[in-house]
Amino acid sequence: MVKNLFKILQVAAVFIGTIVGAGLASGKEITQFFTSYGVSSFIGILICGVIYILVCSMFVKISTKHGLKSYDELIRLISPGFLGEIIDIFTSFFLMSGAAVILAGSGALLNQYFGFSKWIGILIMVVLAAFILMKDTQGLIGVNTIIVPSLIIVISTIFILYVLFSKDLISIGHLKSIPYYSDKWFLSTIIYAGFNILCCSGVLVPLAHEYKRNFIVVWGVTLGAIGLTLLCGAINLMLMLNVPYIYKYEIPLLYISHRFGSLPQIMLLVIIWLEMFSTVVSDVYSVGKALQNASEKEKVYGKTSSKAGPVRKLLRYTSYKKSIFLIILIALPISQIGFSKLIQILYPSFGVISVIFIIQCCYFFMKNKLYR
């Protein structure tokens, strides 16, 4: 019982660590997808949490039922044909680009606040990520079981301090009076939940294969989603009480924490960098597992083909560990394109594709009566 509980907590930590990233830890994602929609944003955060639990549980049950090992198998099972090919390619590109964006962001963060060269920041993250990724699934679990509790402690500390110093401002009446900039909160919630969930499939499918037991991963996802909902709600409340000033800052939570002295700010910056690190690990791990799975299939089924192309021949010699270095080598030049350019193109389009895939997943789940 205790052993199963520990595994559930591990899955919850991986789930939170995969979704959070630097954007959520800094407050930037919450500002963009929730805070700007006013008091309705709290309803959006609750709906987002429910979607996480329902859809991710479907992913786990489908993966276990069909013995899937990576997200590309899940995509091709649920969405066979041309559309599945597009979703698979786009997901792989998004995960690799996401890792590239984070590498660029980590270099910029250390350069801006600590004066290091951008390339020093990037290389530190690459070396550490490669070391963790060499440990396979245990490395992914291990790094998140350290980073996620640290994230919760830091955000909770800032939230408690803020509530103690600003308790007079916290009321339903005051929150309703805060100006908002759009009423399309439901659409924003669905898109945000969509691309986070499809990214999560990259770690959830291998975890379901690793643990072999539905209830461990499903309960882990449920616990993680509840924790994430509470965390997002707390961040959203602090951000709303600081409208419109938060829109001027790249790291809105840093603006909120500055009134409590330099220590909370330093702690927050460290957590943001660590969340960048956990995102890189999760993204590269996801694509690495997909390449490993493709390589295993090619070794089994590709031997009969005498006219295999260069990509298929390369796949036969691509192990998980080799794929890690291949992905990092591809991500490094992409990281130089720039954060804002990648985000403007990738996030909206990937969000729409993710929503389409989630609808297909729900249909597949109900059609095959996997809820029984």
The domain that contains 320 carries what CATH number?
1.10.4160.10
**pLDDT of 5-50, one tens digit each?**
889 999 999 999 988 876 777 788 898 899 989 899 999 999 999 9
Residue 54, pLDDT above cutoff 90 = yes
In a domain, 243, yes or no: yes
Least confident of 56-60, 220-224, 236-240, 295-299: 295-299
**pLDDT of 211-265, one tens digit each?**
877 889 999 999 999 999 999 999 999 999 988 888 888 788 888 888 888 888 8
**CA Rg value for the chain:** 21
In a domain, 372, yes or no: no
Q: What local confidence, expressed as pLDDT, does residue 309 receive? A: 46
Residues of 262-281 as b/e, b for ≥16 C-beta within 10 angstroms? Answer: eebbebbbebbbbbbbbbbb
pTM: 0.89
In a domain, 285, yes or no: yes
- Segment 183-205 shows an average pLDDT of 89
Between CA 106 and CA 114, with CA 238 as vertex, the angle to 5 degrees is: 25
In a domain, 220, yes or no: yes
Distance between CA 237 and CA 298 in Å, rounded? Answer: 51
Tell me which amino acid residue 280 is: V
Residues of the domain holding 340: 2-367
In a domain, 48, yes or no: yes
- Segment 156-170 shows an average pLDDT of 86
Number of folded domains that form the chain: 1
